[in-house]
């Protein structure tokens, strides 16, 4: 394998792992045949090492700040933090929507009209962030809960809260007249149980998957 690529792949691993195995692992990659299979295998292993770090008597990988707080104040880590993360992502998505409205659609009363060119990319980024935010926040919550081996109750409550928020909020764009800039806002509107169930299922599936893999790794 190419020397530069080998060194880049090693950098994906957590620092503690790299300090112990990085040099010998990089040498082995350089001396090996490489190829797509090896690349995918190393990427997968590096990500798994980040999710479920190799532990030596508890001191090779210190618990993260989030994991420590997850044990001390689970209501904050699994309730408030994901809700704040979700709110921040929604805020950025709404800012993208509003700025796109001002830049690309200055003569429209609503940004929800067919667009073309760069506007498709601009609004597309906002849309992906808006719809992906609950899933990303859910994955973060699942990761912290699985790594901290939290009881299922807290991630379930946190995921439930996010699921309810996601199912109930709706974007509203208001521009009373074309001379005004208009505004975009989130409303609590009709509840869509389908969205809520999807977010809850994604988060809890990720939690269980990470938890099972972690337990299996410890069990050998």
Partner 1 sequence: MRSTRDVDAKNDTTEPGHYSDPSLLVLASLADGPKHGHAMIEDIVELSGTRLGPGTLYGAIARLEQQGLIKPLEPEERRQPYKITAAGLRVLRAKLTTLHQFSKAGLKRLEAL
Report the distance separating Cα 61 and Cα 50, nearest Å. Answer: 10
By CB under 8 A, is residue 54 in contact with partner 1? yes
Q: Which residue do the tokens 């269980």 mark?
A: 208
185 in Cβ contact with 204 (< 8 Å): no
Range in contact with partner 1 (rule: CB under 8 A) among 20-28, 126-134, 165-173, 203-211: 20-28
- Contacting residue, 5, 18, 50, 55, with partner 1 by CB under 8 A: 55
Q: Which residue in the block uniquely carries the two structure tokens 């009209």?
A: 113
For 200, how many CA atoms within 13 A lie in the half-sphere containing its CB?
16
29 binds partner 1 (CB under 8 A): yes
**Which residues are CB-contacts of 22 (< 8 A; sequence separation ≥ 6)?**
10, 13
Contact at 8 Å (CB) between 203 and 138? yes
Residue 27 binds partner 1 (CB under 8 A): yes
Pick the piece of the chain touching partner 1 (CB under 8 A) from 40-48, 75-83, 89-97, 151-159: 40-48
- Binding to partner 1 by residue 56, rule CB under 8 A? yes
Q: Is 37 in the site for partner 1 (CB under 8 A)?
A: yes
Cβ atoms 97, 173 nearer than 8 A? yes
- Alpha carbon 14 to its chain's center: 18
The stretch among 22-30, 77-85, 111-119, 147-155 that binds partner 1 (CB under 8 A) is: 22-30
Judge whether 53 and 18 are in contact, CB under 8 Å.
no
Among 20, 109, 127, 214, binds partner 1 (CB under 8 A): 20
Q: How far is the CB of 90 from partner 1 (least distance, A)?
A: 35
Q: How far is the CB of 107 from partner 1 (least distance, A)?
A: 54
Helices 15-31 and 3-11 cross at an angle (nearest 10°) of 160
Sole residue written with tokens 């503690």 = 16
* Minimum distance of partner 1 from residue 32's CB (angstroms): 6
If one asks whether residue 46 binds partner 1 (CB under 8 A), the answer comes out as yes
Query: Is 24 an interacting residue with respect to partner 1 (CB under 8 A)?
Result: yes
Among 2, 11, 31, 178, binds partner 1 (CB under 8 A): 31
Answer yes or no whether residue 38 interacts with partner 1 by CB under 8 A: yes
Give the H/E segment covering residue 183.
strand 183-188
Question: By CB under 8 A, is residue 212 in contact with partner 1?
Answer: no
Can you give the binding site for partner 1, defined by CB under 8 A?
17, 20-21, 24-25, 27-29, 31-32, 37-38, 40-46, 48-49, 54-56, 60, 217, 220
């Amino acid at each position: 394998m190419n020397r530069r690529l080998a060194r880049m792949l090693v950098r994906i691993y957590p620092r503690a792992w790299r300090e112990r195995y990085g040099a010998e692992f990089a040498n082995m990659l350089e001396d090996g045949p490489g190829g797509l299979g090896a690349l995918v295998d190393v990427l997968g292993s590096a990500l798994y090492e980040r999710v479920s770090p190799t532990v030596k008597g508890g001191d090779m990988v210190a618990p993260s700040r989030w994991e420590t707080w997850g044990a001390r104040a689970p209501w904050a880590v699994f309730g408030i933090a994901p809700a704040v993360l979700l709110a921040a992502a929604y805020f950025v998505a709404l800012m993208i929507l509003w700025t796109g409205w001002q830049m690309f659609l200055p003569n429209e009363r609503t940004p929800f009209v067919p667009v073309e060119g760069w506007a498709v990319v601009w609004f597309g980024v906002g849309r992906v962030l808006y719809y992906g935010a609950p899933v990303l926040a859910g994955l973060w919550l699942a990761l912290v809960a699985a790594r901290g081996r939290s009881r299922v109750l807290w991630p379930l409550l946190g995921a439930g809260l996010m699921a309810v928020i996601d199912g109930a909020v709706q974007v509203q764009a208001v521009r009373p007249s074309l001379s005004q800039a208009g505004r975009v806002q989130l409303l609590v509107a009709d509840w869509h149980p389908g969205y809520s169930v999807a977010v809850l299922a994604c988060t809890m599936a990720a939690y269980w998957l990470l938890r099972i893999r972690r337990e299996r790794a410890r069990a050998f």
